[in-house]
């Protein structure tokens, strides 16, 4: 039961990610990306990382993807964007990356096939996450806050210089 | 029953409920297919813009000032995630954790004050700003 | 009856949808009373059959998809709000043995689904290919995003006090003292955030009719418009239920059975939502946004740090 659900969710994630790449319309591609993120949240859940699963939905599907959608809506050029996408999807331009990605994939499959199976299904409680974060990894949290501060200030200044803000 | 293992069975009610919800929404969308009226009129297939004929398309760059909001949101949401993790374990991590969080929140507030001072949190149009400054001059 | 039994699932889904339908009538009647009018009072006792009439009318309206729209997304957008709002109800603890699932991350689940519901407005605005819709969608999402940040932060005070995200445990922890007492600041922030998330007056700028026709759902009609409408009412019911759960002791109360207490408390908050719509004017857009970032966000953070100190001080004494 658990394994069936796990592989179904994983398959949904992989297929929808492939559809993200092949979609011509940017908004449709984003919808598949959201679906893919929700599917990977289910995978996290089934591996026992409940907290990570919900955070995946809140942060990635609920926040980062909204940002993407926002940008697409602000910069949408309609038919022109679709034509551009079509040009990018010509076999000539993706053949090289696809071959290289295939090499990585075989490597990954080989590691998975020979390596020992990781333990799954061990439930991680949210308390555990909090205790670890504010115990041994306290410095990482502090660094993260600095990083986010830099991101915030940097993003604002870039946006102000790039676009006419008001 | 081992509590430490993922219990898929406990999710069955949620799954049934979710399918029911999808069913209800599907039925709601399907009913008009069978009972709804159909009309034809001249301006039926035009975008509604208060009776004015639509000009151009929607690919306008009309909301650039919305863009920083989305960035602020993503970053503050990420900070909120750390706060979530702290909130649930506040008793366990005790005062050291509290101090750490105090620093974290101070950085967050400092960023907010910085943006505030820059005017990034001011979404007034130029005209509104002008009006407000005129009003404050008059007292 | 136990949590998650088939009877429970069916009854809760039916009750939520019926509540949303009846709320259309309740809102019109209450607004009328507060404005010295009568409201819909012709059909059936007290005008209650107005609900049925509205339903028949909206179902028999043409199911129109604009030829200039992005058709798939256009149909998908209204289903998003219905599905997310209804699904979020699964974790609401209505009474000790009434509910759909006992989930130890209930609160995060609620926050996750309410963060997904923003897509409804954004996608509707994008798919309509109408300038008013697009602008309404941008406003709706900017507003929802701004207020969502501290909606999550405001309930963390409750999480600290209870030490869990499990909504049932949170309700049980309020046996003696409702969290509204130590968390009045948190409640105020949550209430305003919930009001903003529901896109109702005074936060209805995404669909401000004097400037944007009807905002993101300008091009919607018939049942698809109805779904936005019902979705909004389900959202109000959900927010009210969450306020009762998190701050007002959930099902706790003397004499009456738990379910009755829960329903009564939720009804009070729904009426409060309507009263606010009936009494407050609409602010300017920039004022609304500035209020969120400059007042509510710092307030939520201050509440958080105060609650943390309180919890730790009381905890070390014990």
Q: Give the residue-averaged pLDDT of C240-247.
A: 90
Chain B residue closest in CA terms to C210: B50
**Is A129 contained in some domain?**
yes
More confident residue, B11 or C271: C271
H-helix or E-strand spanning residue C165: none
Chain B residue closest in CA terms to A146: B107
Cβ distance A22 to A89 under 8 Å?
Answer: yes
A137-163 pLDDT per residue, tens: 888 888 888 888 888 888 888 777 654
Quote the distance between the C-alpha of residue C240 and its chain's center.
7
Chain A residue closest in CA terms to C152: A58
DSSP, collapsed to helix, strand or coil, labels residue C69 as coil
**Is C58 contained in some domain?**
no
Distance (Å) from the alpha carbon of A112 to chain B's nearest alpha carbon: 23
**Is A99 contained in some domain?**
no
> How big is the B-C interface in CB pairs under 8 Å?
200
**Is A44 contained in some domain?**
yes
**pLDDT for the residue numbered B43:** 66
- Chain B partners of C134 at a C-beta cutoff of 8 Å? 58, 60, 62
**pLDDT for the residue numbered C206:** 64
CATH number at residue A76: 1.20.120.1200
Residue C213 predicted with pLDDT over 70? no
Residue B38 predicted with pLDDT over 80? no
Q: Give the residue-averaged pLDDT of B44-54.
A: 69
Residue C208 predicted with pLDDT over 70? no
Residue B138 predicted with pLDDT over 80? no
Question: Tokens 């919305």 appear where?
Answer: B66
Neighbours of C264 (CB within 10 A): 12
> How big is the A-C interface in CB pairs under 8 Å?
65
Confidence of residue C240 (pLDDT cuts 50, 70, 90): very high
Whether chain C has a CB inside 8 Å of the CB on B128: the answer is: yes
- Chain B partners of C138 at a C-beta cutoff of 8 Å? 62-63, 66
The dihedrals phi and psi of A94, each to the nearest 5 degrees, come to -105, 0
Mutate to test the interface with A, among C71, C84, C90, C119 (most CBs of A within 10 A): C119
DSSP A122: B
3-state SS track over chain B: CCCCECCCHHHHHHHHHHHHHHHHHHHHHHHHHHHCCCCCCHHHHCCCCCCCCCCCCCCCCCCHHHHHHHHHHHHHHHHHHHHHHHHHCHHHHHHHHHHHHHHHHHHHHHHHHHHHHHCCCCCCCHHHHHHHHHHHHHC
**Is A110 contained in some domain?**
no
**Is A43 contained in some domain?**
yes
Confidence of residue C255 (pLDDT cuts 50, 70, 90): confident
**Is A47 contained in some domain?**
yes
Whole-Å CA distances, C300 to B63, B102, C59, C77, C208: 28, 14, 43, 31, 28
**pLDDT for the residue numbered A165:** 45
Q: DSSP H helical segments within chain C, as ranges?
A: 6-34, 50-60, 71-88, 106-116, 118-128, 131-162, 167-172, 184-197, 209-212, 222-247, 258-279, 285-290, 297-317
- Closest residue to B6, CB basis, from A59, A121, A144: A121
Number of structural domains in chain C: 1
- Domains of chain B by start residue, with CATH: 9-54+64-138 (1.20.58.1610)
CA end-to-end distance (rounded Å), chain B: 72
Mutate to test the interface with B, among C226, C286, C296 (most CBs of B within 10 A): C286
Residues in CB range of C181: below 8 A, 6 or more apart: none
Whether chain A has a CB inside 8 Å of the CB on C123: the answer is: yes
* Gyration radius of chain B's alpha carbons: 27
How many Å apart are CA C15 and CA A41, to the nearest integer? 30
pTM (predicted TM-score): 0.86
- Chain A partners of C116 at a C-beta cutoff of 8 Å? 57, 61-62
How many Å apart are CA C294 and CA C195, to the nearest integer? 17
A47-99 pLDDT per residue, tens: 878 888 888 888 888 888 888 887 777 776 666 777 777 777 777 777 888 88
Cβ distance C221 to C65 under 8 Å?
Answer: no
Whole-Å CA distances, B87 to A40, B100, C150, C160, C265: 25, 13, 14, 5, 27
Whether chain B has a CB inside 8 Å of the CB on C306: the answer is: no
ipTM: 0.82
**pLDDT for the residue numbered A75:** 72
How many Å apart are CA C273 and CA A156, to the nearest integer? 35
**pLDDT for the residue numbered A103:** 93
Q: Give the residue-averaged pLDDT of B108-117.
A: 85
- Chain B partners of C293 at a C-beta cutoff of 8 Å? 72, 112, 116, 121
Q: Give the residue-averaged pLDDT of C212-217.
A: 71
**Is C173 contained in some domain?**
yes
Smallest CA-to-CA distance from C162 within C173, C152, C151 is with C173
Domain end residue (candidates: A63, A90, A117): A90
**pLDDT for the residue numbered A118:** 60
Distance (Å) from the alpha carbon of A98 to chain C's nearest alpha carbon: 30
Q: Give the residue-averaged pLDDT of B59-65.
A: 62
Whether chain B has a CB inside 8 Å of the CB on C1: the answer is: no
**Is A5 contained in some domain?**
yes
Number of structural domains in chain A: 2
For chain A, percent of residues with pLDDT exceeding 90:
7
Residue A43 predicted with pLDDT over 90? no
**Is C28 contained in some domain?**
no
C82-112 pLDDT per residue, tens: 899 888 888 888 888 777 888 888 888 898 8
Distance (Å) from the alpha carbon of A101 to chain C's nearest alpha carbon: 32
Smallest CA-to-CA distance from C251 within C313, C317, C170 is with C170
Chain A residue closest in CA terms to C111: A58
Whether chain A has a CB inside 8 Å of the CB on B12: the answer is: no
> How big is the A-B interface in CB pairs under 8 Å?
147
- Chain A partners of C118 at a C-beta cutoff of 8 Å? 62, 66
Neighbours of A89 (CB within 10 A): 13
What's chain C's average pLDDT? Answer: 83
Whether chain B has a CB inside 8 Å of the CB on A3: the answer is: no
Range of the domain at A141: 125-166
C261-302 pLDDT per residue, tens: 888 889 999 989 888 888 888 777 778 888 888 888 888 888
Residues in CB range of A149: below 8 A, 6 or more apart: B107, B108, B110, B111
**pLDDT for the residue numbered C20:** 87
Residue A6 predicted with pLDDT over 60? yes
Residue C115 predicted with pLDDT over 70? yes
- The region of weakest confidence among A81-85, C15-19, C86-90, C251-255 is A81-85
Q: Give the residue-averaged pLDDT of C137-156.
A: 84
More confident residue, A79 or B28: B28
**Is C39 contained in some domain?**
no
The neighbouring-strand residues paired with B5 are: A122
3-state SS track over C95-138: ECCECCCCCCCHHHHHHHHHHHCHHHHHHHHHHHCCHHHHHHHH
Domain end residue (candidates: A44, A66, A90): A90
Q: Do A58 and C112 touch (CB under 8 A)?
A: yes
DSSP, collapsed to helix, strand or coil, labels residue A125 as coil
**Is A112 contained in some domain?**
no
Range of the domain at C89: 65-317
Chain B residue closest in CA terms to A79: B59
């Amino acid at each position: 039961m658990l394994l069936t659900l796990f592989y179904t969710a994983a398959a949904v994630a992989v297929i929808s990610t492939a559809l993200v790449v092949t979609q011509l319309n940017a908004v449709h591609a984003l919808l598949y990306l959201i679906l893919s993120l929700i599917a990977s949240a289910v995978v996290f859940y089934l591996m026992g990382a409940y907290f990570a699963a919900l955070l995946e939905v809140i942060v990635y599907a609920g926040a980062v993807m909204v940002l993407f959608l926002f940008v697409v809506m602000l910069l949408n050029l309609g038919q022109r964007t679709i034509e551009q996408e079509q040009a990018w999807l010509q076999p000539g331009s993706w053949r090289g990356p696809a071959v290289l990605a295939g090499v990585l994939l075989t490597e990954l499959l080989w590691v998975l096939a020979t390596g020992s199976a990781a333990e799954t299904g061990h439930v991680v409680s949210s308390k555990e996450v909090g205790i670890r974060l504010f115990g041994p990894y306290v410095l990482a949290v502090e660094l993260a806050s600095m990083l986010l501060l830099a991101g915030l200030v940097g993003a604002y200044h870039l946006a102000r210089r790039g676009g006419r803000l008001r | 029953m081992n509590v430490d293992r993922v219990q898929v069975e406990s999710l069955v009610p949620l799954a049934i409920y979710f399918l029911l919800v999808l069913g209800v929404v599907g039925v709601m969308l399907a009913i008009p297919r069978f009972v709804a009226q159909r009309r034809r009129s001249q301006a039926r297939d035009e975008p509604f813009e208060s009776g004015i004929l639509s000009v151009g398309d929607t690919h306008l760059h009309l909301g650039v000032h919305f863009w920083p909001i989305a960035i602020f949101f993503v970053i503050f949401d990420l900070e909120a995630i750390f706060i979530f993790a702290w909130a649930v374990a506040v008793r366990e991590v005790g005062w050291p954790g509290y101090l750490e969080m105090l620093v974290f929140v101070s950085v967050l507030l400092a960023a907010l004050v910085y943006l505030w001072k820059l005017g990034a949190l001011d979404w007034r149009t130029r005209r509104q700003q002008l009006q407000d400054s005129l009003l404050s001059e008059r007292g | 009856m136990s949590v998650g039994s088939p009877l429970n699932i069916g009854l809760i889904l039916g009750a939520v949808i019926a509540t949303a339908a009846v709320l259309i009538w309740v809102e019109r009647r209450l607004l009328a009373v507060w404005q010295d009018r009568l409201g819909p009072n012709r059909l059936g006792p007290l005008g209650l059959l107005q609900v049925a009439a509205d339903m028949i009318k909206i179902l028999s309206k043409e199911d129109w998809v604009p030829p200039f729209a992005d058709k798939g997304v256009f149909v998908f957008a209204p289903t998003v709000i219905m599905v997310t709002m209804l699904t979020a109800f699964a974790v609401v603890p209505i009474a000790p043995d009434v509910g759909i699932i006992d989930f130890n991350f209930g609160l995060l689940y609620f926050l996750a689904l309410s963060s997904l519901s923003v897509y409804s407005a954004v996608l509707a605005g994008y798919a309509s290919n109408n300038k008013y819709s697009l602008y309404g969608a941008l406003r709706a999402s900017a507003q929802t995003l701004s207020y969502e940040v501290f909606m999550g932060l405001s309930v963390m005070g409750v999480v600290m006090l209870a030490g869990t995200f499990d909504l049932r445990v949170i309700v049980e922890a309020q046996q003696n003292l409702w969290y509204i007492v130590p968390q009045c600041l948190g409640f105020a922030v949550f209430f305003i955030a919930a009001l903003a998330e529901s896109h109702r007056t005074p936060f209805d700028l995404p669909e401000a009719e004097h400037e944007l026709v009807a905002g993101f759902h300008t091009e919607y009609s018939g049942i698809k418009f109805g779904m936005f409408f019902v979705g909004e009412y389900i959202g109000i019911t959900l927010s009210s239920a969450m306020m009762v759960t998190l701050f007002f002791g959930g099902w706790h109360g003397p004499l009456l059975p738990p379910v009755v207490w829960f329903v009564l408390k939720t009804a009070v908050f729904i009426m409060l939502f309507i009263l606010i719509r009936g009494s407050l004017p609409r602010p300017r857009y920039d004022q609304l946004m500035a209020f969120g970032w400059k007042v509510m966000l710092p307030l939520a953070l201050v509440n958080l740090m105060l609650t943390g100190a309180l919890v730790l001080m009381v905890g070390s004494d014990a």
